[in-house]
Structure 1
Amino acid sequence: MALSGVLRPGHVAIRVLEMEPALKHYVQVIGLQETARDAQGRVFLKAWDEHDHHSVVLREADEAGMDYMGWKVDSPATLKRLAAQVEASGLCSDFAWIPAGEHPATGERFRFTIPTGHVMELYAEREVIGNCCGTDGPDVNPTPWPDGLTGIAPSRFDHCLLYGDDLDGTVKLFTEVLGFGMAEQVMAGPDGKLMIGAFLSCSNKAHDVAFIRQPVKNKFHHASFILGSWEQVLRAGDILSRHKTSIDIGPTRHGITRGETIYFFDPSGNRNEVFSGGYIYYPDKPVITWTDNELGAAIFYHDRKINEAFLSVFT
């Protein structure tokens, strides 16, 4: 196995103001599949090509935003090792072990708060329920996609973009403690040495999480779901319009990551993205650097203009 340590984003827990409109959005418009509800009223969802039990958790609350983001690691031994390293790093706080079963079909999770104020979790075990594409079982003689998909139908939860103040500490944590690579960075300041954006990968994707420096803590910009092509991103725009979903911007292309994108909002004001393309990232790939004078092209390559709402609206 080539990948080790942190394997991928495993889940994002999102606060919504009302559950029923949120479920209509995430199930009927985006096309996620409900897998469980719990006694706390949380609803657990997955995309069609995700084999693990869930990747999105919705919780009704008085304020929208993200509760936490979870990362799947390769083994229980790695979970214990990384938890110890995170505690010893001096970069994080509010450590807690969440018992197995607190998320359905999930083993114990190690929770901590990172320098930007976001809550992160590591876990190693989650029940595999399959993607329903196999003709003789979930993973036997699979079809390219299952019948009966609903809405936009992304294949999986892909990444989050998060806003916070201590970008330097968070980048140090992810690169030096958790083993992520820096795929792209955005630099600013008179000498061009102030990092204002970091796009980090634990896999061979252009990013698994990204952080933007802002004078706030623990802010959620968006959760992204992956599609297979630019054509599917355009189709997503049609579906969003049909459902009268509030669209932020797109379809368009990013300069950063090269991905094709459309941004939109759930009924609570949380931003979502569907995304395709990008490039293959390997740890020996040189870091791509964007300068702040080209920020328009970095974010929205087609019109090369910054959408101020994209930078200032978050939950």
Structure 2
Amino acid sequence: MTYQEPIHDIAQLAMVELFTPKYDESLRFFTDFLGMYKHAEDEHSAYLRAYEDRYHHSLKLTRRDQAGVGAISWRAMSPQALDRRVAAIESSGRPGRWVEGHKGYGRAYEFTTPDGHVNHLFWEVEYFHPTESQRSRLLSRAQKRPLSGVPVRRLDHINIMASDVTANARFFEDLLGFKKRENVIFGGTQELACWLSVSPLAHEIALTKDQMGPGNRLHHVAFWYGNQGQMLDIADLFAEYGVHVEAGPAKHGITQGYFMYLYEPGGNRIELFGDTGYLIFDPEWKTVTWTEDNFWSEGGVWFGGDLPQDFFIYGTPLIEAAQKATTRETEAAQ
């Protein structure tokens, strides 16, 4: 078997844009509960970052009539790497365009997945420079740990919903160099979800089958704690202040991540990630496949409680079919 030379042109998931119809409430959620720092704001958006994020922002929160995801932004490994990936996308039959004028990073190449999710790829970036009062005594930490809520440490990953998981995953693999670390296949052929990364992390992006929609939707955005105890602290705050937790704290079998899912006020699902899960250093890693025989008993949740059925249906923006399914499940549970 011929070993395919890996592509190491994408460095990291750098920033995610979320749309919210409840801008003020969403902004308070991310700053008051998750301790994110509002680095900048204009008439349309707030630019937030966790205290170990090193760039201008990791979350762009934008006013819109419906919740959902805007641009998913990736940093290239170098200017040359950026050029190589742009050339690959241009030759794929799905060319994008160069865009400028975005806060936090320079000229970027904008492209879409087969389902239409907007992505930006860039090299030039604006680093965060703390004031003296924000400066951490830890030289390796971007900013002093905030005093608000239970502060998350960094952006971790994003999960997008796809009409065809395999086709959209192939786009990331073939054109951008992502590796498929785990997946779920039912019936021997239908790929329902997969987890991909360009680093030793088990995933920076995941794809979930959109059972109720056209695919161009958001499943969740995740922020990292790295400490399971902090997950319990924030769960206590959510209970105290009436924030509904969808699932967790618990542990996934897939990616082995300690998790909690909830909804920010605008309606987007947020995951809080309590540890790294596992790291991948094997260059010949083979995709781990879960099936209907083991997914429900071991894959979805390793311990800590089941995922609700709504977890596999709900995404943003909301669509009528998904809303009806969610309502039926809620009424059945009452």
TM-score normalised per structure 1? 0.90
RMSD: 2.4
- Say if 1:300 and 1:290 are closer, same or farther in 2 by CA, change over 3 A: same
- Say if 1:314 and 1:143 are closer, same or farther in 2 by CA, change over 3 A: closer
- After TM superposition, the structure 1 stretch with the greater mean CA deviation from structure 2, 23-32 or 70-79, is 70-79
Count of aligned residue pairs for this structure pair: 306
| Residues in 2 aligned to 1:129 and 1:143: alpha-carbon distance in whole angstroms | 11
- Report if aligned partners of 1:50, 1:131 keep a CA contact under 8 Å in 2: no
- Say if 1:61 and 1:308 are closer, same or farther in 2 by CA, change over 3 A: same
- Give the unaligned 5+ runs of structure 1: none
1:285 alignment partner in structure 2: 285
Instruction: Say yes or no: does 1:217 pair with 2:215.
Output: yes
- The equivalences for 1:74-93 within 5 A come to 74-90=77-93, 92=94
| Residues in 1 aligned to 2:280 and 2:270: alpha-carbon distance in whole angstroms | 23
- The equivalences for 1:1-315 within 5 A come to 4-38=8-42, 40-90=43-93, 92=94, 95-99=96-100, 102-130=101-129, 141-142=139-140, 146-189=144-187, 192-215=188-211, 216-277=214-275, 278-282=277-281, 283-296=283-296, 297-302=298-303, 305-315=306-316
| Residues in 2 aligned to 1:68 and 1:48: alpha-carbon distance in whole angstroms | 22
| Residues in 2 aligned to 1:139 and 1:69: alpha-carbon distance in whole angstroms | 32
| Residues in 1 aligned to 2:15 and 2:82: alpha-carbon distance in whole angstroms | 16
- Report if aligned partners of 2:210, 2:313 keep a CA contact under 8 Å in 1: no
Residue 51 of structure 1 aligns with an amino acid whose one-letter code is: R
- Say if 1:131 and 1:280 are closer, same or farther in 2 by CA, change over 3 A: farther
1:81 match: secondary structure: helix
Q: 1:148 Cα deviation (Å)?
A: 3.5
- Report if aligned partners of 1:115, 1:167 keep a CA contact under 8 Å in 2: no
| Residues in 2 aligned to 1:228 and 1:131: alpha-carbon distance in whole angstroms | 23
| Residues in 2 aligned to 1:229 and 1:193: alpha-carbon distance in whole angstroms | 37
Deviations 1:201-242 (A, max 9, x none): 111101000001225221101000011122122222112223
- Say if 1:25 and 1:181 are closer, same or farther in 2 by CA, change over 3 A: same
Q: 1:119 Cα deviation (Å)?
A: 1.2
- Say if 1:172 and 1:146 are closer, same or farther in 2 by CA, change over 3 A: same
| Residues in 2 aligned to 1:247 and 1:8: alpha-carbon distance in whole angstroms | 28
How many percent of aligned residue pairs carry the same amino acid? 28
Deviations 1:240-284 (A, max 9, x none): 223321211111110100010011101111000110220012332
| Residues in 2 aligned to 1:240 and 1:164: alpha-carbon distance in whole angstroms | 30
